[in-house]
Chain A
Amino acid sequence: AQSVTQPDIHITVSEGASLELRCNYSYGATPYLFWYVQSPGQGLQLLLKYFSGDTLVQGIKGFEAEFKRSQSSFNLRKPSVHWSDAAEYFCAVNLGGFKTIFGAGTRLFVKA
């Protein structure tokens, strides 16, 4: 069955430090991949997406993600975290353009 795994329930990083959030998927073909961010009580904001082409994609707010087919991964990175980045991050897979399934989410805490 198709699935999305975010192995880290929560991560704490210092402000200014680099960040990497992990995401692995299980799917027969190369899916469309997304990262969303959700602040408490809010909806989802799309950070970036991968459909095809260059495997390193740039998103908003200084985020980037790299698609690695051999590892079935789509990890999210940011070189320098800001306190305002504290939120819940969801990796998502769009299966053949039909419906989106989400990982369990990773909550990011940023310490001063």
Chain B
Amino acid sequence: GAVVSQHPSWVICKSGTSVKIECRSLDFQATTMFWYRQFPKQSLMLMATSNEGSKATYEQGVEKDKFLINHASLTLSTLTVTSAHPEDSSFYICSARYANTEAFFGQGTRLTVV
């Protein structure tokens, strides 16, 4: 149980376009979902926290207009990287939790902007 799925697992897009990444909790209802970014050989940095039906809370330094997060249902959150540029290339990982459990992580999405 407690499976979190991300889609796509990797994506290549052209500079200036937008790309959407999905995070789904497959067998539980996620009250909270988190989005992380990981640069090569670095740790995971929390970007934002989203609760179903409300606006996401962004960490300091994260551009909310650049990284749009939608958590429309208890099983789905999406991260849209708008007007992507090569510096947005990174590994994005989501996690989800319910009640008082720990967060369960997706397998990540490798974004490459060319």
Interface residues of A (CB under 8 A from B): 32, 34, 36, 41-44, 46, 49, 90, 94, 97-105, 107
A47 to chain B, nearest CB (A): 12
Cβ of A15 to closest chain B Cβ, rounded Å:
23
Interface secondary structure of B, over-half rule: strand
How many angstroms between the C-alpha atoms of A97 and B31 in the bound complex? 12
CB distance from B46 to the nearest CB of A (A): 6
A-B contact pairs, 28 of them (CB 8 A): A32-B102, A36-B105, A41-B91, A41-B110, A43-B6, A43-B93, A43-B105, A43-B107, A43-B108, A44-B44, A44-B105, A46-B102, A46-B105, A49-B102, A90-B43, A90-B44, A97-B97, A97-B100, A99-B49, A100-B34, A100-B46, A100-B95, A100-B103, A101-B46, A102-B43, A102-B44, A104-B43, A105-B43
Chain B 73-108 near chain A by CB (<8 Å), digits 1 or 0: 000000000000000000101010100101101111
A96 to B7, CA, bound (A): 29
B102 lies within 8 A of A34 (CB): yes
B54 within 8 A of A: no
> Which 4 A-B residue pairings sit nearest by Cβ, starting from the closest?
A43-B107, A43-B108, A44-B105, A102-B44
CA distance A41 to B6 in the complex (A): 14
Minimum Cβ distance to chain A for residue B80 (Å): 20
B34 contacts A99, CB within 8 Å?
yes
Q: Which residues of B contact A46 (CB under 8 A)?
A: 102, 105
The size bracket of the interface on B is 20 to 34
Nearest CB on B from A23, distance (A): 12
User: A105 vs B106: C-alpha distance in the bound complex, in angstroms?
Assistant: 18
Instruction: Report chain B residues within 8 Å CB of A102.
Output: 43-44
CA distance A78 to B46 in the complex (A): 29
Tell whether, in the assembled complex, residue B43 and residue A103 are in contact, meaning their CB atoms are under 8 Å apart. yes
In the complex, how many angstroms separate the beta carbon of A12 from the nearest chain B beta carbon? Answer: 16
Which B residues lie within 8 Å of A34 (CB)? 102
Residues of A close to B6: CB separation below 8 A: 43
B34-57 with Cβ < 8 A to chain A: 34, 41-44, 46, 49
